[in-house]
Structure 1
Amino acid sequence: YSYKQLFFSGMRIGRDHIASTVYTLLFTYAGAALPTLLLIVLADRPTGFILSSEAISQEIVRTLVGSIGLVLAVPITTILAAVLAEKTS
């Protein structure tokens, strides 16, 4: 297999893994923050106030950072794997 074939094959599989892992991260963070989210929602505050609160902002940033890390990790590791696999064959 050529480098190009290995890379595109790895990326096709990597996209599926990214999608499922991002959803898992989102639900994990939401589940961990559920008590905080319930307290904020039950406080009868405006939506803008709730979205700008520290707890909500923190969960949004955690989800984004984790997702960005995953999205960057897959192409980088796919490139490395394709280069190493091509050299050994």
Structure 2
Amino acid sequence: MNKLITIFFLFNLFFPGIVQAQDRTIKGKIISDNDEPLPGVNVVVKGTTNGTITDVDGNYEISVSGSEATLLFSFIGYTSEEIMVGDQT
């Protein structure tokens, strides 16, 4: 039994990326129909409290788990939009 625990410990020590491999960072830029950046847009992973807002240039960066995540974009005066992450980065 101790040998099994030791092997499990060593595996996790040398291969920690396998456990975290499903988390990734999604980056993007939100612009208006006039190609102007939109600062202050709320970007939230649907069904979670994980979120961020766009900076003054309309850029955002958010960490998601798995490819089934859906991002919800909302901004005052605009229609909210949901986009499934899939394989996008």
TM-score, normalised via structure 2 length: 0.34
Q: Which has the higher contact order (CA 8 A, sep 6+)?
A: 1
Higher-Rg member (1/2):
1
Between Structure 1 and Structure 2, the one with more strand by share is 2
Give the number of the structure whose residues are more often helix, by fraction: 1
